[in-house]
Amino acid sequence: MEKSIITTGKVLRQILIGQLQDISENQFDIQAKGFNNTIRWNIGHIVYWTDKYSKLSFGFKSTIPPEYEMLFGTGTNPSEWVTTPPSKEVLIEQLKAQLIRFSELTPEMLDINLESPFVMGPFQFVSSGELFNFALMHEAIHLGVISSQVKAIQ
């Protein structure tokens, strides 16, 4: 079963990267009515949290700049940015680099318990596999938001 979760992660990431190819750089920064953020924010948020979850789950070293927390962390908003966010090209390259890292995962890695449980509100994740699976659900939710934003922009 663990192998299929890793495969699901790779497929999900490939779908996300594929969807982004048809979105222009300009569209990345349009905040459609009814949304409190932009496509660029959602992509950066995915990159940021995948990096964070990978470090917590598997001990991977962070590969993103520290300012991503202020740009894309939970509760941030593009209207409050004081630094220039990464380009579409940079974000897609980071998504691709994370996809390559997914290929390094083994089913055994998903069975390892975290140093301490990761608590998020009422939820608690004990193993790296639980947290990785949550990361995939999180990414899928934001992919859905991005798809909705694209429709709202058009």
Residue numbers of the domain that contains 7: 2-153
Band of residue 30 on the pLDDT scale cut at 50, 70, 90: very high
Q: pLDDT for 74-118, tens place per residue? A: 999 999 999 999 999 999 999 999 999 999 999 999 999 999 999
Contact 64, 48 (CB under 8 A): yes
What are residue 127's phi and psi, to 5 degrees? -110, 160
**Domain total for the chain?**
1
Length, in residues, of the chain: 154
- pLDDT at site 23: 95
pLDDT at 126 over 60: yes
Q: Which of 153, 151, 138 is closest to 43 using CA atoms?
A: 138
Mean pLDDT, rounded, of the chain: 95
Q: pLDDT for 36-48, tens place per residue? A: 999 999 999 999 9
- pLDDT at site 154: 85
Band of residue 3 on the pLDDT scale cut at 50, 70, 90: confident
Whole-number Cα distances in Å, 45 to 30, 61, 80, 127: 16, 18, 15, 22
CATH no. for residue 22? Answer: 1.20.120.450
Predicted structure pTM score: 0.95
Q: Which of 28, 37, 31, 12 is closest to 140 using CA atoms?
A: 12
Q: Which helix (H) or strand (E) holds 63?
A: none
Q: 28 has which bridge partners?
A: none
Give the mean pLDDT of 45-53.
Answer: 97
Q: Which of 118, 37, 16 is closest to 80 using CA atoms?
A: 37
Cα separation, 58 vs 50, in Å, equals 11
Record the tokens describing residue 107, joined without a space: 């089913």
What are residue 116's phi and psi, to 5 degrees? -145, 150
